[in-house]
Amino acid sequence: MTGDGTRAVRAGLPEPERYEPALPGPVFAAHYHLPGEASGPFTYGRDANPTWSRLEEAISELESPDADAETVVFASGMGAIAAVLLSQLRQGDTAVLPSDGYQLLPALAERLRSFGVRVRTAPTGGDAQLTALDDTTGLLWLETPSNPGLDVCDIRGLAEAAHARGALVAVDNTLATPIGQRPLELGADFSVASGTKALTGHGDVLLGYVTCRDPELAAAVRGWRKTVGAIPGPMEAWLAHRSLATLPLRVDRQARTALALAGALRDRPEVTGVRHPGLPDDPAHPVAAGQMRGGRFGCVVSFTLPGKEHAERFLTALRLVDDATSFGGVRSTAERRGRWGGDAVAEGFIRFSVGAEDPDDLVADVLRALDEARDGD
Ligand SMILES: *Cc1c(COP(=O)(O)O)cnc(C)c1O
């Protein structure tokens, strides 16, 4: 059994072949030579592509190193999320979704309701997700740590309870990445993520994926991708595969810096509600420590400044941090989350994504920007 770093640099690579590159380049093909029967691994470009296959193999190795699993890659995280929900739920089924999950989940929930699926929502953490389950539940959707609130729920316990009721369990693993958390090992049926964020980490690719161990579930998701055509481009898939080699390095550095930043923010009187699952006294910490791996609690720190203007002055004063959405990239980003209107957050709420900068430089930049924002009062 190898470690994460060793696994990541080789994940999904073909056996070495003389004069061939370690990671073969992207294959651009709308169709493949296909004499005779209409079958085989590569027929039409919407169904399969060797560049996707290698990336899918790599993600499977990272999400499930000890048991066979299958991954299906998508054009975006939303493509992956929609594929699970829409391939699994039928009219009359009940889905339990987080009320504090990714900001587009409610739009998808509305669509499900219009198809006759009953949708119940419950906040991440606490007992509400457990009590929302009943014998009509077909699918329990979890997002842990949640974005942007950074609450955490017990995947193991909830998966057991859901399975006892005959429901499937999906976990949005975007924030943790498989280096920080492996939902399938904790009992989930699907690990789903946006690869746009920390997985690829360079802010230049949109991608999503679904990993599962049950081949029938994988086939349903794969079939859905083919039907709706939510396929990634070969270039995106190749860039994503290339970036996986540094995933453990990035995740380690970002998690350590995030913890340092969260600690520094705590000492500032104008900053309230600092959340990071790695802080020992964070309400999410006990559950996070029981299911997240190797102290890697993610790259996101959230906190609240006294108001909208104060938060905007802070963001403008930052020099090493871009005011941008998304998270998980090598360059730190931060944003006033309330500007989107989709999340239940205070006007001064900041979602901060720690990049790969030197921790001391980043913390110093934040403290200086806080000083400037305060003095502008
Ligand atoms: C960004 C994000 C998504 C959506 O992914 P896209 O690649 O932007 O479609 C889903 N879930 C979480 C937790 C996210 O952060």
Give the Å distances, CA to CA, from 214 to 55, 106, 125, 211, 278: 19, 27, 27, 9, 32
Amino acid at 139: L
Give the pLDDT of residue 341.
84
Confidence check: pLDDT of 63 > 70:
yes
Q: For residue 283, how far is the Cα from the chain centroid?
A: 21
Q: Say how many Å lie between the CA of residue 78 and the centre of ligand 1.
A: 6
**Domain range summary for the chain, segments of one domain joined by +:** 4-244, 247-375
What is the spatial distance between Cα 279 and Cα 271, in angstroms, rounded to a whole number? 15
DSSP secondary structure code for residue 31 in this structure: B
Task: State whether the beta carbon of 173 lies less than 6 angstroms from ligand 1.
Answer: no
Task: State whether the beta carbon of 102 lies less than 6 angstroms from ligand 1.
Answer: yes
> Could you report the per-residue pLDDT of 238-276, keeping only the tens digit for each?
999 999 999 999 999 999 999 999 999 999 999 999 999
Peptide bond into 145 cis (omega under 30): yes
Query: Structure pTM?
Result: 0.97
Confidence check: pLDDT of 320 > 70:
yes
Confidence check: pLDDT of 376 > 90:
no
Give the pLDDT of residue 377.
66
What is the spatial distance between Cα 250 and Cα 355, in angstroms, rounded to a whole number? 8
Q: Say how many Å lie between the CA of residue 150 and the centre of ligand 1.
A: 14
Q: Provide DSSP, 34-48.
A: --SSS-SS-SBTTT-
CATH homologous superfamily for 247-375? Aspartate Aminotransferase, domain 1 (3.90.1150.10)
> Could you report the per-residue pLDDT of 279-307, keeping only the tens digit for each?
999 999 999 999 999 999 999 999 999 99
What is the spatial distance between Cα 364 and Cα 90, in angstroms, rounded to a whole number? 52
In ligand 1, the atom with minimum distance to the C-alpha of 326 is: 1
Counting ligand 1 atoms within 8 A of each CB, the residue from 147, 173, 181 with the most, and so the one to mutate, is: 147
CATH of domain 4-244: 3.40.640.10
> Could you report the per-residue pLDDT of 143-177, keeping only the tens digit for each?
999 998 999 999 999 999 999 999 999 999 999 99
Give the pLDDT of residue 344.
82
> Could you report the per-residue pLDDT of 324-373, keeping only the tens digit for each?
999 999 999 999 999 988 778 899 999 999 999 999 999 999 999 999 99
Task: State whether the beta carbon of 172 lies less than 6 angstroms from ligand 1.
Answer: yes
Q: Say how many Å lie between the CA of residue 276 and the centre of ligand 1.
A: 19
Sign of the dihedral defined by the CA atoms of residues 53, 59, 65, 70, in that order? negative
On average, the pLDDT of the chain sits at: 96
